[in-house]
Structure 1
Amino acid sequence: MRFSPSRLSACLALCVLAGSAYALSEFGIEGMGVVSTQHSEVRGAVSPDGKRIVWGSTDRSGGTGGWDLWQARLIDGRWQRPEPLTINSKSNDFDPLFSADGRWLYFFSNRSGGRGGDDLYRAAVRDDGSYAAVENLGPGVNSPGDEWAPTPSRDGRHLLFASNGFGGAGRHDLFVARWDGKAFVDPKPVPGVNTADDEFDAAWLGDGRAIVFARSKNVENDPIRLYLAQCDGARYAEAAPLALSFNTDSGYTLGPTLDWNKPGELLISGSAKAPKAGKMDLYRMKAPAATGRDGCIGLATSK
């Protein structure tokens, strides 16, 4: 379980957020009334061709299970026709992200047949936009614990994800695994970011020269905030809160993803004062500059 939806909703109602005049100048809501609705929408993923957006919802009716994956299509310049994905199960399905080549949709699920808890999965994307059978990513990245937010690198050679089942600094940590030609294997802690808190929901910027990630003292009970860190050539250094008005130490901001179709833009999940559709909405902002160096993907083995 990533977080308690009931506690999340209650905390969001109490959060003191920035005024609308400033908010509207730095970000925009994604798909008002279609993608962002009165429900909770988390981690939006745009297909590389820009024609589809997929996201997770914890409480939207019409799906198969409690947490489901949803999709809308770009029609006449607007997101339209929201519908649950056919690959949803009666269990939780969440944290979608397309591969950079558009061939795969990655996500996590606690459906039966996994290794325990939340496992990482993917489904091939057919030429007509439909999805093939779901496949578990295997023991190389799935533990008896929980794995979240699978994020393939642009070249497909590495997978960034969060787990509480591979050791690390404490609670959920960020890991990066490498592709060995058959599977993602040998997960190593992402250098420089893991602490005794929960670190999860990460996105690489500039092909790994920077990283945006979520941190919480306890993801089940405490606020969640996004952080940005630049690579110094060996590790991500001096993580600082992402510059975004509603990314406060008392709110819930998470689920960053880079838009493959518009790599200068970042999608995030949170609750601004305005514009606002529901409990958790999807927002689009300019991606922070990746001013760091290469060298942080898959190299270090310490926190």
Structure 2
Amino acid sequence: MRTPLSLLALGVSLLSAPHAMALSEFGIEGMGVVSTKANEAQATIAPDGQRIVWASDRGGGAGGWDLWQAVLRDGRWQDPTPLALNSASDEVDPFFSHDGAWLYFASNRPSGRGGFDLYGLMIRQDGSFGPVLAMPVTVNTAADERRPAVRPDGEVLLFARNGKGSQGGFDLYVATAQGRGFNSATPLPAPLNSAADELGGDWLGNDGALAITRVADGQSRVWLVGCDYAKPAEPLVLSFNTAEGQTGAPVVDASKPSEMVVAGQARSPKAGGLDLYRLRTPAVAGCR
């Protein structure tokens, strides 16, 4: 039996065929391959643009939510395959580092410190994955850690954590890089962290601007945050990114930073429950 995640626990994430379509407001990612009748969640594209990894609750995996991979051939995503790292628990929130050296993800597998923890795999020169490594205790705690996103320069990790002392349920935290690991994490300030759930996001460059997922009253929406975290976030202008909708898991395409993928529920085009969509990476005013 597959274990469903609640909207809050899952967040929301999506994707489609990368270079094969003209972009207007948005286009669905990989119809029938990546976006299917199942629910598809956060997607990430490798820096060379040759593969996409995303979370899905489709059948054929190890159980629960699994990470799947497709490769680019003839301008289209093809050969969807579950990753060997999947377990009977949930694997979600994949994220390729911009240098192509790591794939990060979150899982609630029983070997962790608590609930969901963050993990990483080194990517070998032949493109294969190394063994699964848990993030250090400076990042993983007895609380839930979700949505890892490393800044393009590799110097700072952004992620979401719930638990004692948060502004709401999930808050955003950052940890600076230290060798192959990360230093102790600190929460970002209010009003960026709010009484709602800030369920992860991605960096819009190296100057600190962010696209984040915020969940309130059962609804999920993508918000833009400038370099000054003291200023209120603004919603991403997108037809289905509304206060009544379900949109989230923004991830910049590491192979083409002018574009990003989000998960959501558009009226059209539509493949299933949650689908993945491609759009232009938004610019945030006031940053260097």
So what's the TM-score if we normalise by structure 2? 0.90
Question: What is the match of residue 35 of structure 1?
Answer: 34
Instruction: Give 1:186's aligned residue.
Output: 184
Determine the structure 1 residue equivalent to 2:13: none
| The one of 143, 167, 170 aligned to 1:169 | 167
Contact 2:4–2:64 (Cα < 8 Å) also in 1: no
Contact kept, 8 Å, 2:253 with 2:260, in 1: the verdict is yes
1:64 to 44, 62, 65: 62
Distance of 2:61 and 2:232 partners within structure 1: 41
Query: Could you tell me whether the CA contact under 8 Å between 1:197 and 1:215 is conserved in 2?
Result: yes
Q: What is aligned with 1:213?
A: 212
Secondary structure at the aligned position of 1:70 is classed as strand
Structure-2 residue corresponding to 1:25? 24
Q: How far 1:168 sits from its partner (Å)?
A: 2.8
> What amino acid is aligned across from residue 117 of structure 1 in structure 2?
G
Question: Which residue of 267, 279, 282 corresponds with 1:285?
Answer: 279
C-alpha displacement of 1:236: 5.0
Q: Aligned runs of 1:74-223 on 2, under 5 Å?
A: 74-165=72-163, 167-191=165-189, 192-217=191-216, 222-223=218-219
Paired with 2:236 and 2:95, the residues of 1 have a C-alpha distance of 21
Q: Is the 8 A contact 1:143 1:166 kept in 2?
A: no
Distance in structure 2 (CA, Å) of the matches to 1:2 and 1:171: 20
SS in 2 for 1:269: strand
CA distance in 2, matches of 1:227, 1:285: 14
The yes-or-no answer on 1:270 pairing with 2:264 is yes
Partner Cα separation in structure 1 for residue 145 and residue 33 of structure 2: 28
Q: Are the equivalent residues in 1 in contact too, given 2:224–2:284 (CA < 8 A)?
A: no
Residue 230 of structure 1 corresponds to 226
The answer to whether the 8 Å contact 2:152/2:205 transfers is: no
Higher helix share: 1
Listed as ranges, the gaps of 5+ residues in structure 2 are 11-22
Q: Distance in 1 between matches of 2:186 and 2:98?
A: 22
How many percent identity over aligned positions? 51
User: Following the alignment from structure 1 to structure 2, what is the Cα–Cα distance between the partners of residues 208 and 63?
Assistant: 38
For 2:43, the equivalent position in structure 1 comes to 44
Within 1, Cα distance between the matches of 2:261 and 2:207?
Answer: 17
| Maintained 8 Å contact 1:206/1:290 | no
Distance 2:275 2:114 in 1: 29
Q: 1:199 to 1:146 in 2, by over 3 A?
A: same
- Give the corresponding residue for 2:236: 242
CA separation of 1:36/1:182 partners in 2, compared to 1, >3 Å: closer, same or farther?
closer
Cα deviations by residue, 1:66-100 (Å, 9 ceiling, x for unpaired): 01000000001100000000111111100000001
Q: Please state whether the residue corresponding to 1:44 is helix, strand or coil.
A: strand
CA distance in 1, matches of 2:80, 2:41: 15
SS at match of 1:34: coil
Q: Is the 8 A contact 1:269 1:280 kept in 2?
A: yes
2:47 and 2:100 in contact (8 A); partners too = yes
Aligned partners of 1:168, 1:179: CA distance in 2, in Å?
23
Tell me whether 1:53 sits opposite 2:52 in the alignment. Answer: yes
Shift of 1:3: 4.8
Q: Is the 8 A contact 1:198 1:215 kept in 2?
A: yes
Residue in structure 1 matched with residue 16 of structure 2 by the alignment? none
Partner SS state of residue 64, structure 1: coil
Structure 1 length-normalised TM: 0.85
Name the aligned partner's letter for residue 28 of structure 1.
Answer: G
SS of 2:132's equivalent in the other structure is: strand
Residues 234-260 of structure 1: CA deviation (Å, up to 9, x unaligned)? x25221111000011111101100111
In the alignment, the residues of structure 1 paired with residue 31 and residue 110 of structure 2 have an alpha-carbon distance, to the nearest angstrom, of: 34
Distance apart, 1:173 and its partner CA: 0.1
Amino acid aligned to 1:79: W
CA–CA separation in structure 2 for the residues paired with 1:142 and 1:104: 17
Q: 1:4 aligns with which of 3, 6, 22?
A: 6
Question: Any idea what the Cα deviations from partners look like across 1:133-159, whole Å, max 9, x if unmatched?
Answer: 100002111110111000011121110
